[in-house]
Amino acid sequence: MADAIIKQLQSLFVESLHIEVPSAETDLIETGLLDSLQMVELLLQLEQRFCFKIKIDEVDLDNLRTLSRIAELLDAHGAATGKPKSSARAASPADRNLHRDTEAAHE
């Protein structure tokens, strides 16, 4: 699964950020491949392509240093893979509880 996500991330970097990442283990921050604006764009692209949303206060730069770490983060959070997604975000546990509670109220 991680290999498939890494390939999708490589495409994301080329298509959206115009960055060729030499390997899945290249440190994107230490090498200067990603600056602060590109980091914001990366987060936006992760939301759009993988239905993955992360709160700014939960951002851990260590999880975004390499393609491998980003893939692990996406996999750990059950982010959607496959074709690029719309800007819809994945449902949070609170969203799922609200949906369940709403359905129960209508029964």
The token pair at 95 is: 């969203």
pLDDT digits (tens, 9 = 90+) for 2-51: 899 999 999 999 999 999 999 999 999 999 999 999 999 999 999 999 98
Contact 34, 42 (CB under 8 A): yes
The token pair at 52 is: 């993955």
**Cβ partners under 8 Å of residue 88, min gap 6:** 51
Burial 3-18 (b: 16+ CB within 10 A, else e): eebbebbbebbeebbe
Q: Quote the pTM value.
A: 0.71
What is the residue extent of each domain of the chain? Answer: 2-105
- CATH architecture designation of domain 2-105: Orthogonal Bundle (1.10)
pLDDT digits (tens, 9 = 90+) for 77-103: 887 665 443 333 444 454 444 444 444
